[in-house]
Amino acid sequence: MKHYELAINFYKQKGPRHDKALWAIRQKRDKAIKEVDEWEELREKASKIKDEVINNLQDYVKEFIKNAKKEGIELFFAKDAKEHNEIVFDLLKEINAKKVVKSKSMLTEECGLNEFLEKRGIEVIDTDLGERIVQLRGEKPSHIVLPAIHTTKEEVAEILGESNTDPTYLTHKMRELLRNEFLSADAGISGANFLVADKGWAVVCTNEGNADLGAVLPKLHIISVGVEKIVPSMRDLGVFLRMLARNATGQKITTYTSIFGRKENGKRVIVLVDNGRFERLNTEFKETLKCIRCSACLTTCPVFRRSGGHAYRYVIPGPIGSLLAPLNNKEEYSDLPFACTLCNSCEMVCPVKIPFSKQLVKMREYVTKDDFAFKFIETSLHSPFAFKLFSKIIRLTPKSILKKALNEWSKYKEFPTIPPKRFIDG
Amino acid sequence: MDEFIKNLRLAGGEVLEEIPDGWYVTQAEFGVVENGTVWVREYKKELFLSEKVAVKMPKKFVKTMQEAMELINSPGVFISGPSKTADVESFLVFGAHGPVRFGIIFDKGL
Amino acid sequence: MKIALHVPCYINELNPEIAKKTLLILRHFNLDVKVPKEQTCCGQPFINSGHPTTLPQKFNEVFKNYDYVVSPSSSCVSTIRSQTLEVSKKMFELCEFLHDVLKVKNIAKNYPKKIALHNSCHSLRHLFEGSPSELNIPYFNKIKEVLGCEIIEASRDECCGFGGVFSLKEGFISYVMGRNKLDDLLNKNPDVITGVDFSCLMHLESIAKKDGDNIEIKHISEILWECLDETL
Ligand code: SF4
């Protein structure tokens, strides 16, 4: 099913509540960013830093690897999803791991790591509460920061087999269940929000503390992360840390901002993943690599808020997903760049100033096949005379036929009346 | 300092007068005014496993995270209140995985 | 000052009155306004549906020798402005032109009806005729200044769901967004809803008609001309 169909289903069930919840977050976000007088300058800075990184990505990757090794972190570079999964599997096999606790990482979702490991007999427990909810429901996250925003407390109670639907009760229930998993896990896997090139450190921002439990309890901590997450220095990191949480949820900062170097009681490994990123640098969509996954463009998107994230069918939904998904599979996701009104709200909230309206229009061109009818009309419209002819034909066409031709409009809205005379009718 | 405390409380943190029984206690190096967060260098599992965590800290502050970065020369963790989540219907709950309560105690003197 | 009126093709076809009123407004300010007969379409429908087009270049040929090109449609203006053509910097949306170039304000100061202004996305987040709520910049709204009367705005400055090709691909969500926008505005009891983009207004009107809402919806040029005409 395509976006427009899934969107109808979702909206009819949950749309208004979902829209309201996300709009409330958008308003919290607005309030939080308006407390920072230099917000717009920070966006400018963040955008420049990311430009610098993606324009010199190879060098920064080298620098990061060198410094991370010096710091005592083991490093791997994976060309693609398969290589990433195999590296992680080998690391786990080495220690005979049966169970891993994973905290939120869009990259492991992108690589399909859970399925890969489970097929090979390793149990993967998602520990972010929202991710655990969707994992138990047999779903995928519908939002990159709020994975279970599409669920109700009743649904959460149901999967836990509880009759009490109080959010505090349910949260603490999940905490209890997951605490045992943490204590018995053989390894922890997490993503990283930033990698600091000149220090060789990885930075993870979370509210729940699940990534930290996964990093500190088991002997092995694996960080799976895309190469584009590098920032040059701590000074640059400061810019992003001021923006990330404010823009994502309206918090001034996440509860934990953990800076990881060498692991004291075991081994820390970073798997740097390419998976098409270097290739993307040579396309007109390279600016999508600036994304810090703050999720603000999802939350603000008026279509996303009403259609829900699952209508996008890709690990990263919403505006940024509509740019990433077709690069991954043009045929499958060709509808996504059109699930958009070009309202440009995404571009306005984006902390790294990805030029969404330009990119989305380019993406529409990328997924659209040459169409003879369009070409013919386009050519004709260069001439006012041909335009007039079209206009005549339309005025002579019975309204019922026009209505049928524009069915998606007529189904829900009155058809406009066409006046007999034009203004320029030369 | 008032602004720091205001932001610490907004994030669910508390200002403690003395160390209560049963709290895990550690040391923070400084606080960040703009968000009420504290920098803890010692990264220990008790920070996350304990129900209640208190940090002792000097009255030393920087205004923003950008300034905070200048002071950091080793790994560690910034902490801002108790662990939290809003994953069940956007309802804020403390004690998601880590501590349910988090407090600071200013070092005596100065 | 050589000025050209751009008549957006959809306005030419579906609501020619808007073009006429825009012309009357500009002439009211004693401007020498030409209406180039060779103009057709700026290319927006093709660009936004992913089809290659050279219509913006054709547009440039028609308009490049004027000092200003004024258009009663912010989406056409932003289409041309996002290209790098000679005409790109010369093109203005009507209210933008009144505000920035002619520096006239308060035209509708004594307008007897309660006006609700729909800040369309192209006006707000592409042309910056007002301050989008997403940004941390001081509040302003040029259209409100040009009108100069008490103005009702929606509580959310989000999209009304028209989106051109979007309304033909995602009719349902397009409808829902329009419905939400209408409810937001109607909640504040306006007598009339207006805006600088007839496309959004047409979309809202189609929903209002189908759902049986009793509300007058008209393009800003009609309100402005009503005011100017009376003072003549
Ligand atoms: S594209 Fe921009 S707004 Fe969207 S998630 Fe990435 S950084 Fe955030």
Ligand 1 atom nearest residue A292's Cα = 7
Question: Among residues C71, C185, C215, which one has the least CA distance to residue C117?
Answer: C185
Q: How confident is the model at residue C232 (pLDDT cuts 50, 70, 90)?
A: low
Residue pLDDT, tens place only, A110-158: 999 999 999 999 999 999 999 999 999 999 999 999 999 999 999 999 9
Q: What share of chain A is helix, strand, coil (3-state, %, to 5)?
A: 55, 10, 35
Last residue of a domain, one of A370, A392, A410: A370
The pLDDT value recorded for residue B109 is 65
Helix, strand, or coil (residue B106): strand
pLDDT > 90 fraction of chain C, expressed in percent and rounded: 98
Burial of A154 (0-12, 13-18, 19+ CB in 10 A): exposed
Q: Indicate if A20 and A55 belong to the same structural domain.
A: no
CA distance A288 to A293: 10
CA distance C62 to A295: 43
CA-based nearest distance A169→chain B, Å:
9
CA-based nearest distance A392→chain B, Å:
55
The pLDDT value recorded for residue A412 is 94
Asked whether the predicted pLDDT for residue A342 surpasses 60, the reply is yes
- The answer to whether A260 touches A223, Cβ cutoff 8 Å, is yes
Asked whether the predicted pLDDT for residue A349 surpasses 90, the reply is yes
pTM over 0.90: yes
Judged by a CB distance cut-off of 8 A, whether residue A275 touches chain C is no
The pLDDT value recorded for residue B20 is 87
Judged by a CB distance cut-off of 8 A, whether residue A128 touches chain B is yes
Q: Do A24 and B90 touch (CB under 8 A)?
A: yes
Asked whether the predicted pLDDT for residue C102 surpasses 90, the reply is yes
> How does DSSP classify residue C88?
G
Mean pLDDT score, A297-308 = 98
Q: Which residues of chain B does A182 touch, with a Cβ-Cβ cutoff of 8 Å? A: 97
Query: Using N-to-C axis directions, what is the helix angle for A234-249 and A39-55, rounded to 10°?
Result: 120
CA distance B30 to B53: 16
Q: Please, do chains B and C touch (3+ CB pairs < 8 Å)? A: no
CA distance A222 to A188: 6
Question: Among residues A179, A418, A73, which one has the least CA distance to residue C10?
Answer: A418
pLDDT > 90 fraction of chain B, expressed in percent and rounded: 94
Helix, strand, or coil (residue B11): coil
Per-residue CA distances from A309 to A304, A353, B91, C118 (Å): 6, 22, 20, 27
Q: Do A341 and C159 touch (CB under 8 A)?
A: yes
CA-based nearest distance B102→chain A, Å:
11
The pLDDT value recorded for residue C191 is 98
C residues 12-51 lying closer than 8 A (beta carbon) to A: 12-16, 19-20, 35, 37-41, 46-51
Q: Please, do chains A and B touch (3+ CB pairs < 8 Å)? A: yes
Mean pLDDT score, C134-146 = 98
Asked whether A296 lines ligand 1 (CB < 6 A), one says yes
Please list the residues that pair with A125 across neighbouring strands.
A101
Asked whether A353 lines ligand 1 (CB < 6 A), one says no
Tokens of B89: 């219907």
Q: Indicate if A238 and A178 belong to the same structural domain.
A: yes
Mean pLDDT score, C63-78 = 97
CA distance B84 to B86: 7
The interface predicted TM-score (ipTM) is 0.97
Q: Do C172 and A11 touch (CB under 8 A)?
A: yes
Q: Do A408 and C168 touch (CB under 8 A)?
A: yes
Asked whether A248 lines ligand 1 (CB < 6 A), one says no
Q: Does A375 fall in a domain?
A: no
CA distance C201 to C185: 13
CA distance A304 to C95: 31
Judged by a CB distance cut-off of 8 A, whether residue C121 touches chain A is yes
CATH assignment at residue A141: 3.40.50.10420
Q: What is the overall mean pLDDT for chain A?
A: 96
Mean pLDDT score, B14-42 = 96
> How does DSSP classify residue B59?
S
Q: Which residues of chain B does A128 touch, with a Cβ-Cβ cutoff of 8 Å? A: 87
Q: Which residues of chain A does C167 touch, with a Cβ-Cβ cutoff of 8 Å? A: 408-409
What are the counts of helices (DSSP H) followed by strands (DSSP E) for chain A? 21, 10
pLDDT > 70 fraction of chain C, expressed in percent and rounded: 99
The pLDDT value recorded for residue B1 is 87
CA distance C205 to C181: 11
Q: Where are the domains of chain C?
A: 3-101, 115-230
Q: Indicate if A176 and A143 belong to the same structural domain.
A: yes
Dihedral in degrees, nearest 10, Cα atoms B65, B68, B69, B70:
140
pLDDT > 90 fraction of chain A, expressed in percent and rounded: 91
The pLDDT value recorded for residue C230 is 67
Tokens of A75: 């490093």
Q: How confident is the model at residue A426 (pLDDT cuts 50, 70, 90)?
A: low
CA distance A25 to A299: 7
Residue pLDDT, tens place only, A148-203: 999 999 999 999 999 999 999 999 999 999 999 999 999 999 999 999 999 999 99
Q: Which CATH number applies to C115-230?
A: 3.40.50
Pairing outcome for strands B30-32 and B37-40: antiparallel
Per-residue CA distances from A133 to A118, A125, A139, A152, A234 (Å): 18, 11, 9, 11, 35
Q: Indicate if A113 and A211 belong to the same structural domain.
A: yes
The pLDDT value recorded for residue A425 is 83
| Domain count across chain A | 3
Asked whether A349 lines ligand 1 (CB < 6 A), one says yes
Residue pLDDT, tens place only, C171-203: 999 999 999 999 999 999 999 999 999 999 999
The pLDDT value recorded for residue B19 is 87
Q: Do C159 and A423 touch (CB under 8 A)?
A: no
In the numeric block, the tokens 């997903």 are attached to A321
CA-based nearest distance A391→chain B, Å:
52
A344: containing domain = 1-35+295-370
Q: Indicate if A24 and A169 belong to the same structural domain.
A: no
Mean pLDDT score, B39-60 = 96
The pLDDT value recorded for residue A60 is 98
Helix, strand, or coil (residue A190): strand
Please compute Rg for chain C using Cα positions.
Answer: 17
Q: Does A78 fall in a domain?
A: yes
Q: How confident is the model at residue C62 (pLDDT cuts 50, 70, 90)?
A: very high
Instruction: Return the ∠ at Cα A298 (arms to A296 and A299), rounded to 5°.
Output: 65
Asked whether A130 lines ligand 1 (CB < 6 A), one says no
Q: Do A253 and B35 touch (CB under 8 A)?
A: yes
Mean pLDDT score, C4-12 = 95
Q: How confident is the model at residue B110 (pLDDT cuts 50, 70, 90)?
A: low
Residue nearest to atom 2 of ligand 1 (CA): A350
- The answer to whether A273 touches A61, Cβ cutoff 8 Å, is no
Residue pLDDT, tens place only, A380-390: 999 989 888 88
Q: Chains touching chain B at 3 or more Cβ pairs under 8 angstroms?
A: A
Fill in the amino acid letter for A363: M
Query: Using N-to-C axis directions, what is the helix angle for C198-211 and C171-186, rounded to 10°?
Result: 90
Q: Does A290 fall in a domain?
A: no
Q: Indicate if A23 and A134 belong to the same structural domain.
A: no
C residues 175-194 lying closer than 8 A (beta carbon) to A: 175-178, 180
CA distance A347 to A342: 10
Closest-CA residue of A relative to C53 is A378
Judged by a CB distance cut-off of 8 A, whether residue A14 touches chain C is no
Question: From the CB of residue A274, how many other CB atoms can be counted at a distance below 10 Å?
Answer: 20
Q: What is the overall mean pLDDT for chain B?
A: 95
| Domain count across chain B | 1
Residue pLDDT, tens place only, A215-238: 999 999 999 999 999 999 999 999
B30: containing domain = 2-106
Asked whether A291 lines ligand 1 (CB < 6 A), one says yes
Q: Within 13 Å and on the Cβ side, how many CA atoms surround C6?
A: 34
Task: For an interface test with A, give the residue of C79, C136, C137, C207 to mutate (most A CBs within 10 A).
Answer: C136
Residue pLDDT, tens place only, A48-65: 999 999 999 999 999 999
Which residue blocks in B1-110 are alpha helix, DSSP H? 2-10, 46-49, 65-70
Q: Do A201 and B75 touch (CB under 8 A)?
A: yes
Q: Indicate if A64 and A100 belong to the same structural domain.
A: yes
Asked whether the predicted pLDDT for residue C231 surpasses 80, the reply is no
pLDDT > 70 fraction of chain B, expressed in percent and rounded: 98
pLDDT > 70 fraction of chain A, expressed in percent and rounded: 100
Centre of ligand 1 from the C-alpha of residue A181, in Å: 32
Asked whether A292 lines ligand 1 (CB < 6 A), one says yes
Q: Indicate if A355 and A411 belong to the same structural domain.
A: no
Judged by a CB distance cut-off of 8 A, whether residue A348 touches chain C is yes
Q: Indicate if A232 and A95 belong to the same structural domain.
A: yes
Helix, strand, or coil (residue B76): strand
Residue pLDDT, tens place only, B61-106: 999 999 999 999 999 999 999 999 999 999 999 999 999 999 999 9
CA distance A423 to B10: 60
- Greatest extent of chain C over all pairs of C-alpha atoms, in Å: 47
